[in-house]
Every structure is written in structure tokens, then in C-alpha cells.
Structure 1
């Protein structure tokens, strides 16, 4: 892992350039907190299904596996995104420069092709704002280019019926490099009603010469997943591996199909000028069955208990870049325009047949209760300038984000009038950074900026009063962020330390819960302050990786909210000074690898720790702190042009029972998502080089 990152030439077009002073664009010189995990490290001895497997060594990043593939990972960076009850909010996701986050800020990491990854970059701090609204942090995966003729295939299996099969081919035909990666995954699930099946295909075709580069991308993702829901405190204490009866009664589940293509093109124009273009488009279809009781679907404005989405999406990013020598340093200026859009047909049906008081069947698609077309678009101009030499970097940038949300209602009936409407949000997010060299192997850096987080379409879908139509009172949250850090390299060791302070106003929080839906409001001011440390080094046959995050995230202003459902009038007081839910005060990771030499063996011991995590705004309960240990062994043998790779690992060796994630502010009080006890995983991979 490397401790700072900037743009590189081996990935597809990035949404925003963070440039570097040296010709090789060394990550070392970035005036920001960016960590990079190499693709081989990400995959080594892992299932290769979830980003949470290999990113524990990144400070400031909380990435938790819910053990619920219907709701994706729980991801937050320096506290941004922690409020999300499903998917990813407040953090921007990219694969080869193509957004995995929708224009409204909602994203998913399920389609990240880990088997094809060359590296994953995690950007934290003020510079995240250059990626647009709802970018409290950025996670970018870049796939390998291919070129070296190689074929590999792998199998892995473990507890709870877990299995993964994958294959990959890469090479070169003429001037074109190609990479094709496919994987399939399945599990019976840790708890009843948590089985999942997933398949992903990723293809990349690229060509580069002295004057430019072109990259073609295609991706296909399919999944069928059950949803075990969360557990109440009483259920979790009685048996953390059970499933709440409502999940099995309503057969809660989600099916997803997604296809997308992308094109990135760049060309040198001479005189230090360069033009870069990126375009992408895709289609996503989703059907989800929820555990909403039939009686709660009686009100005329109810959206039912089955969600169907058919979303088309796409975007363009064009920019100009100019590099020149200036004042004994390197000056790079960038200006561009980014636009993204999504248009989704959303339908809601009842999840039962017959009368709501005495249904003849539940967990099925019943009468239509919602039919609308929702659109979200962004239009963001941006610019950045950076001057750098070996001992100093000065950088500044600005982005103007504009987000438009529109809903066209096609389901108009008695008691349910036309709910069509539109909203528009905008904001300017400037950033500035400075990096200076204190000694040949020690650098200091500081940056400051402003951020903007707009509500998602789900968050503006309902009004707190219970009336139908968009919640026009909900405003975006705006933040001010500063950070300062040190990093050093000494022989085979590298370390970093950073402090940050984030002050936010109009934080988006839950206001009411009723009829299986939540409404949102702005809570006032919040504060996120913390420290991050990391250390990596190799001494003879030992390799050490470690990270520590300390964060104090609190509401500075009090407000009123609802907890239980139904609740249409907020009456629960959240006091000033309460901790923000979903955020642990401390998080730590450490791994020791020993490589004795014979059989290409690597033996590892891994420790993970999380502090207690509040489950709601009132802080009435919390998931307890936990520490787990894991052990693993990897082997490698070369037989002519073939290479065999094997691994086996055991996680949570002490069989610690704990909640690995929480569903923040869950209306039914089912906050807790159980982590696995002692579990094993083994795999083999065959690699053929040509």
C-alpha cells in the first residue's frame, strides 16, 4: 500500500485530475490524504467479492460487510456516509473513471471487479469536493490494462455455503491491449433468508501511443439476493444468528440486473496541451420485496411494499489540460465540464393479495400503488491549478455543482393527487492544498475546502406532513473541512499521520417514520474531528501493515426526531453533544506477514478492532466494541509456464459474537446486523503465462 496518490496514466479517464509535479506523477507528492491498495494485495488470500476484505488498512475509511447482499456494504469516510441504511451515500464511487454513484448521490459497490483490479485509491479530506456533490470521500478502482498474455482461473469456498469461481484472460492483439474478467459468487447466508447469487463480467480494450490513449469498457452485473433484515436488541441478545420473522414471512429479497459501457479518449495537442473526453451509459433494473405489513399500505399515498426500478443513466466529462515549466517548477492547469443524468421508471406495488386485514398471500406482487418517472441530472464545471517542484507543491481548485431532481407522477387516484415536482440544488466547492518537504524523506501537507451533500431521490420522496409530493423543505448539507498531515519514508518503511476538522451545517437526518417510509429534515450543525495514523514496513522476512483512526462525530445542535414506526410527529429529543450514529470513535487494523521462503509461503496474522457504534440519533443503544483475530497462509509454486496459488484462512478465531454493522435509525428498532463467528475460507488459483 502507498500512502498518497495522484492521477496516473494507466487508468481510464478520471472524473477530476489531481495532478503531480514529477513527470512520473508520484503519489508521494499529493497535497492530500490518498491511500492506494495494490490489486494483488487486495486479492491475496481473499474471497474477492467485497471491498471490505482488503481495505482495512486504509485509515479514515470504515467499510463493513453487513452479511446482507441485498443492502450492499456500509461505507463511510471520516464519518460521511454513515447514515445510509442501504447502499452508499455521501461517498463517491468510480470504476475506471465511470461513476458507480448516481447523480443524486446514491451508489453501490457490488459491481466492482475486484478480480481485475490494478489498484484501489481512497481519497479523504477537502480534495474530495472536486468530485462533485455528496463526495465526503472517494473510492476509485482501476482495472489492469492487460498486455502481458496471461490466463488465470480460481475457486474458493468457505462456511455457510460460500463459493466463488472466477476466470480472467489478458493479452495484446496488434496495438490493442485486452482484459476480460468474469466471476460468479454464491452463499447460503450467515442467517436464514440471507442467501445470495451474483455474477459479474468486465471487459476492457485499450490502445496507447506517444500522443494519446483510448479505452473501451463494458460491464455486466446480475444478482439475486435474499434480505434477512436487522435484529432488535432482544433478538440479537437471544440469538444473533436468527432472522426476524417478518423477513421469512414476506420473503424479503432483491433482484438486480445492470449493464454499462464506457469510452475514454485523450490526445496531446502539442505545446503542453491535452484534451480528455469520457462518456458512459447503462441500464439498471431492480425489483425489491419489503417486509411492510399490509395494514400500513392502506393510506392513499402509500407506495406499497414492492419496489420496481428501471433506470437508464449516462454521462460525459470533457476537460482540457496544460503542462508547462514555470518558476523552476511544473505548472499544470485543468478545466472541464462534467454532466451526469439518470431517468428511472419507478413503480410500487402492494406485497400481498386480497384484503389487507386478511391477505390470501404475502411476499408477492399485488396491486399497483405508485407509478412515476424520476430524473436526476448534474452539470458541473471545474478548474484546478497546481505548481510543483521536488520540495514544494501548491494546489487550488474549484467546482460548481448543480443537481436537479424531477418527479413526474403517473398514478393519480382518489386521495392521491398529482405529486409531480422538481427541486434544484447548487453550490461552489473550493479547495486549496500545500505540500512541502521537511527533509529528504519527510513531507508535510495541509488542505482546506468546502463540501456539498445533496439529498437523494429517496430522501426527498415524501413530505414530513404526510402529504404526497417532494419534500421541498429539505436542503443540502454544507461543510467546511481542513486537514494537516505528515508522511515519511525510511528505507522499506512508510508512515503517515493526519488530523482533520469538519464542520457541517444542515446535516440531513431522519424526521418521521410511518407506513414503511422515512422522511428527512436538516438537523443543524455537526462536528467531525479526528486523527489518522498508518505504518507499513518490511524487515527481512516480516512485513507489517497497520492503521488507526480516532474520530469524534457529534451533533452540535439539538433537534427532534422519530424513532419507532408509525410516527408522524417528531417528539424524541436529540440533545446537542449526542454522537452521530454509525460511527465508531476508534478503529484499528494490524497485519503481520511472515515469508520464510520455501513454497512461496506467506503466513499472516490479522487484527481488527472497532469501538462501540451508536445505532440511532438519540444514542439509546449501541453495538458493542469488538476485536477479532484472523490467521492465513498462502502458497505459490511455479511449474514451467504454470503457477499454482493456494490459500487458507480462518477469521474471528476466538469466535467473538458481535454486530459487524448497524442499520442506522431503523424504524422498527431492528438495528443490528450480525458478523460471522469463527469461519474459514480456502481457495486455489491457476495462472498460465504465455
Structure 2
């Protein structure tokens, strides 16, 4: 390994030397096609550094304006991301638990929030060092577009990168612009937005305020939140820019109705679990997030990006049980990242190189108290948890000839996880572990012609347990502690695919993938602690699947998007309580997902959108003896825009779940007592208006 590292570093050094003399550089005179060989100024954002996705040998889905800005409620990311192949999204009705997103099965273990995938907004990480992502701070009306990398990407993004979601906010307008909007709908939905922005000068700014309120379909599911999003850009000179982003969220109420068993669902779908009401289950959040980025362009071929960020999150919740059922969490998360990119030629062929370093530190002060039916009892847990990461990585793109593009690279991570137990009356729960991981990858794309390619890639991916997962030890006599038996899961992934334009009207993307995972982390509950989630490693699993998408322009203003996902996720080696579960499907993921979206977008402002999605059955436990039925969802939206002099006025209306399907917005895997189900609402209506001047 040491010899390999030295050889690799020497190669990188020689590559950079070969590319460094840009001032006197003359490109080789070869008759290469400019579509494939003209390198644009590099964008140092990991895999997404190519202006032409056809030559990128990875599965990347792009979402644009039509997915985000046309008549949506703007409550959760699922409204826009649900149509992406390979993604499965749940829990967009329970705001105390937050939305759950999985990409090719990575992230499905999460009992709440997002695990196992990375999330960024304008390049700033929304995922903590230990792999947790919360999106309650993201104002969805502020999002303009997104890119989703469907597949392992630890080689660039490190821990918990089973997939990557990059969100991009609204661009600065060319002149001062003020917006205000109001939306309302079924089950007490309200959404009030106001913004002011100006991008006409060297100093650009964008400020957006929002207030959301939702009573919810089920009892005890109310939420409200106030959000501030601000960004500002300073052009220091022709070659450098300073960007400042600030985000604030205050969500004082997010109640948790809990999960029900089958009999309770039949009796009353709107009901909350009795214990959740008795113990006043729910959460409140206060968070500040500040990010600063500096971009320096040395020349047309060289660029340096530096970012720094700090997040302060104050969180408290009440869980539906007494022992340790109230949690106070005080989190600090900060980090820095530097990326240097250079474009040039090596051995007469175009080459692009990125090298980068990341440093991040997460500090969680976690307290637990007994929950005396909503009142605070005695303190039973006092623990400081920390996660430190330092990493170095590189990525290189090399065009071997007119047809073949190769991307390769690796990342080296050093993670230090520590827990210090300050509550010693029930024994010490302190623990420490240090992890070193190497994540290589390689991908190759073959251009069939200018507009179509076939590709393949191989990558390693690792996923550590989160601090919250480590703090719940099922074998401990104390309330919490440090679960030293919970290990990182390691995966090796292989993919083959093809994508391209058939003509000016059709774009397709098809991929087959296979991932083999050691020590897969899954969730479960214990009889003595119903409602409390624990985690364990389950040996080996295998994830295999096919993803297909087609976008077709079938009329002047009409586009149809079709998508299909087939997922075969099985336990390859898992013995549970002497029962061999080899061959069983991993719970929580449907085997088949089919979606179809039709967009009519008139340039004069009128739009109609129909979204249809069909989900197959979902197993609810490791034994595969409980499952849901298949179900279909149809959503419709329409709206128009009116112009009165320089003022624009927009109106929209939407109907969700037009077919009135009885389905579940969330499912809790391996829940004790058969409490798997969180019912989704029936048909609902929302409408809104916006004024822009």
C-alpha cells in the first residue's frame, strides 16, 4: 500500500507539472470534436465538473425549474425528488421525524431524518460529519435546481455517501426584485413567503423569509416553522468572488403522532398512538447556519475554491416512553474545505485534475431525562459525543481519444469518534474509536456518437454509525452509552449504463448496478423499549437493481418524463435469533417503482402538470412475513401568470392523491407489536398566489 501511495503521489505531481505552464501553452493541433474535447473552465464540485453529462461515467439526474417552481406546496423535498429513479422517499407528513430519503437502498435504515447520503446546498454541506442530514432549515421556494448522483461516492465526499444530492438556490436577478406569496390548503396548510433580491451590482444579495404551518391529517401532527435564507456575493476583482450564506430556522412545534398497528389503522386512520399523546411526543428546533466561500480564478484553466461553515443546532424532543424519553441536544458542527482544479493537456490529450482537503468537526452535547407524561423528570443521561474527520482526495478526468473518457481517483479519510459519559451512577458508557478508510473509484465512458454513450464504473463506499445510533446500546444496563459493537458498513459497487439523446426530442438514461455490503446497519426495536430505535450490523447484503428514465418532448409545450426502478436488495448472510434470513429481501424498499409526469408549460405562463407514481409491495421486517399492498398516487397542478405593466401575478391550484389511495406516508421497520404504519392523508387541495415586482 505504501509503495502504491508513493507511486500515485509521484504520478499526480508529474501530472500537475505537465499542466502548470499555462501561460506559454499551445494546444496540440488535432482535429478533435469540440463537443467532446473542448474543456470549459473547471467547476470544482466533485463529480459534477463536466458541462456535458454524456461523457460522465456515472448516473446523474438533473432537476430543473419545472420540478420546483410550478404550484407545489413547498413543505418537503419529496415533492420534487420523488420522480428520480433509484430514490425512495417517505415520511413527508411527520415533521417531528423529518423526511427519509434512500438512494439505491442507502439511507433506508433511518428511523428519522436522512442517513447514508450526502446533501449540499450551493456547495455547503447539510450533512454532519457522522452522516446525518436534516432539511427542516431548507426553504424549498429558494431552490432553483438539483443534481442527484445515484451511486456510491465516498471517493469524493467521504463518509455516508451512498448517493449525493446537490441543491442550487435561485440566481440573483438582473435588477431589484420583490416577491410575496401566500398558499393555503387542506388540513390547515399555510405557507407565507417574502423575498427581496438584487444582482445588478458587484455586491449581490438575496433575502427570503417564510412561515409554514400545517395541522396535519392525523391527530397530534401539528407543525409550524419560521425560516430565513440569505445569500450575498461580492466580486472582489475580475478573478475572485466572496460568497456569504446564512440560514436560520425556528420550529417550536413538530408533534409526532407515532405509528399504528394494522387494527388501529382499520379503526381510525387519523388517530395518533395513545402513548404519543400521553407523553406529548414531538420536537422543537432552533438552528443557525453560516457559510463562506472564496473562489479564485488563477487563469482560464486553474481555479481554487475554499469554503468554511458553522452550524449551531439546539434540539429537544419528547419520546413516547418514560425512561430517558426527553432529549436535549446542543450541536456544533464546523468545517473547512479547499479544492484546486486545473485543466490542460497531458501526452497530447485533455486532462482535468482536482485535488482537495476536507476538515470537519461535530460536537454533540446530549442530555436525557425521564418523560413523566410530558413533564420533565430526573436526568438519566449526560454525554458528550464528538466526530472528527480529516481527508485528502483527488479526481482526474482523462480523454484517451475521440471515444473514451476515463475518470478515476481516491479519497483517504481519518475519522475519530468519541463519547464521554458524565453520568456515572449507572456505570461508564464512554468509548472511543478511530477509523481509517481508503475509497478508490474508476469510471469509463465510451462515446457511441456525439450524443450517446455507454459507461461503467467501480467504487468503494463506507458508512459509519451516526453518533445517535452509537448512543443507544441494546446490551447496556444504562440508558445510553457507546455501542462499541456497531461497526461501519463497507460496500463495493459496480455499474453499467447508457445515456444520451436519440434525437432532438428524446433523452434516455438506463443503468444496472450491483453493490455488496459488509456489516449493513439496520434498525430494530426491543420489547422492553417500544418506540425506541436501536441499530445492529446484519452481516452481508447485496443490492442489485435497474433504473430507467426517458424524457420526451411530444409537443410544442408538452414534455413527458417516464421512470422505472427495479430493486432486488437481499440479505446474503444474516442469522437472527438462530433463524437464517439469507435470501430475504431487505425491508423498507419497494421492489418496483414506476412514475410518469406530464408537463404542459406555456411560455406565456400557463401550466398544467400531472404526476403519477406506482409503488410495489414493501416488506416491513427482516422475516418478510409482513408487507404492504401496492398503491398508486396521482397529483395534479395548474396555474397561470398575468402581467400588468412591470408587475407579474401568479396563481396556482393543486390536488394531491386524486385517486384517494389508502397508503402510508411512513413505515417503521421491525417495529415492536406490529406498529409499522403511519397513514397518509386522502385527497387534499392547495392553492396559492404570488406577486412579483
Task: Note whether the superposition's TM-score is higher than 0.5.
Answer: yes
CA contact (8 A) 2:42 2:343 kept: no
Distance change >3 Å, CA 509–CA 17, structure 1 → 2: closer
Structure 2 residue 282 is matched with structure 1 residue 253? yes
CA contact (8 A) 2:386 2:418 kept: yes
Whole-angstrom distance in 1 between the partners of 2:40 and 2:243:
14
TM-score, length-scaled by structure 1? 0.90
Structure 2 residue 579 is matched with structure 1 residue 582? no
Distance change >3 Å, CA 276–CA 124, structure 1 → 2: same
Match of 1:124 in 2: 150
Gaps of 5+ in 2: 1-38
- The 3-state SS of whatever aligns with 1:69 is coil
Structure 2 residue 432 is matched with structure 1 residue 439? no
Match of 1:86 in 2: 112
Offset at 1:660?
2.7
Q: 2:49 aligns with which of 10, 19, 27?
A: 19
Match of 1:359 in 2: none
Whole-angstrom distance in 2 between the partners of 1:168 and 1:654:
35
Q: CA-atom RMSD, angstroms?
A: 2.1
Q: 1:324 aligns with which of 339, 344, 357?
A: 344
Offset at 1:431?
0.7
Match of 2:550 in 1: 535
- The 3-state SS of whatever aligns with 1:459 is helix
Match of 1:377 in 2: 388
TM-score, length-scaled by structure 2? 0.89
- Aligned residues between the structures: 645
Distance change >3 Å, CA 216–CA 390, structure 1 → 2: farther
The 10-residue stretch of structure 1 (208-217 or 276-285) with the greater mean CA deviation from structure 2: 208-217
Offset at 1:424?
1.9
Match of 1:463 in 2: 473
CA contact (8 A) 1:145 1:177 kept: no
CA contact (8 A) 2:351 2:397 kept: yes
Structure 2 residue 88 is matched with structure 1 residue 62? yes
Offset at 1:127?
3.5
Whole-angstrom distance in 1 between the partners of 2:47 and 2:609:
36
Structure 2 residue 220 is matched with structure 1 residue 220? no
String of CA shifts for 1:493-518, please: whole Å, max 9, x gaps.
21111111111111113466243544
Match of 2:662 in 1: 657
Whole-angstrom distance in 2 between the partners of 1:679 and 1:619:
33
CA contact (8 A) 1:129 1:452 kept: no
Match of 2:484 in 1: 472
What pairs with 1:146-295 in structure 2 (closer than 5 Å)? 146-149=172-175, 150-172=177-199, 174-208=201-235, 210-223=238-251, 224-270=253-299, 272-292=301-321, 294=322
Structure 2 residue 333 is matched with structure 1 residue 307? no
Whole-angstrom distance in 1 between the partners of 2:583 and 2:165:
30
Distance change >3 Å, CA 161–CA 10, structure 1 → 2: farther
Distance change >3 Å, CA 464–CA 228, structure 1 → 2: closer
Whole-angstrom distance in 2 between the partners of 1:532 and 1:270:
40
Distance change >3 Å, CA 348–CA 151, structure 1 → 2: same
Offset at 1:162?
0.6
Distance change >3 Å, CA 372–CA 130, structure 1 → 2: same
Distance change >3 Å, CA 198–CA 322, structure 1 → 2: same
Offset at 1:650?
1.1
Whole-angstrom distance in 1 between the partners of 2:387 and 2:484:
15
CA contact (8 A) 1:644 1:684 kept: yes
Whole-angstrom distance in 2 between the partners of 1:18 and 1:532:
20
Match of 1:525 in 2: 540
CA contact (8 A) 1:320 1:335 kept: yes
String of CA shifts for 1:253-282, please: whole Å, max 9, x gaps.
100010010111121234843322110002
Distance change >3 Å, CA 589–CA 651, structure 1 → 2: same
What pairs with 1:608-687 in structure 2 (closer than 5 Å)? 608-687=613-692
Match of 1:339 in 2: 359
CA contact (8 A) 1:306 1:351 kept: yes
String of CA shifts for 1:559-607, please: whole Å, max 9, x gaps.
21xxxxxxxxxx373511111111100112111123577x632222221
Whole-angstrom distance in 1 between the partners of 2:500 and 2:199:
38
Whole-angstrom distance in 1 between the partners of 2:108 and 2:152:
18
Structure 2 residue 482 is matched with structure 1 residue 494? no
- The 3-state SS of whatever aligns with 1:501 is strand
CA contact (8 A) 2:523 2:669 kept: no
Offset at 1:175?
0.6
Whole-angstrom distance in 1 between the partners of 2:515 and 2:449:
29
String of CA shifts for 1:285-323, please: whole Å, max 9, x gaps.
00100111x4xx3xxxxxx11000011110011122221
Match of 1:411 in 2: 423
Q: 1:505 aligns with which of 518, 521, 525?
A: 518
Whole-angstrom distance in 2 between the partners of 1:601 and 1:272:
43
Distance change >3 Å, CA 232–CA 408, structure 1 → 2: same
String of CA shifts for 1:475-501, please: whole Å, max 9, x gaps.
111101011111121213211111111
Offset at 1:386?
0.8
Distance change >3 Å, CA 128–CA 647, structure 1 → 2: farther
Distance change >3 Å, CA 123–CA 595, structure 1 → 2: closer
The 10-residue stretch of structure 1 (102-111 or 383-392) with the greater mean CA deviation from structure 2: 383-392
Match of 1:399 in 2: 411
Distance change >3 Å, CA 327–CA 144, structure 1 → 2: farther
Offset at 1:238?
2.4
Whole-angstrom distance in 1 between the partners of 2:207 and 2:71:
21
CA contact (8 A) 2:154 2:460 kept: no
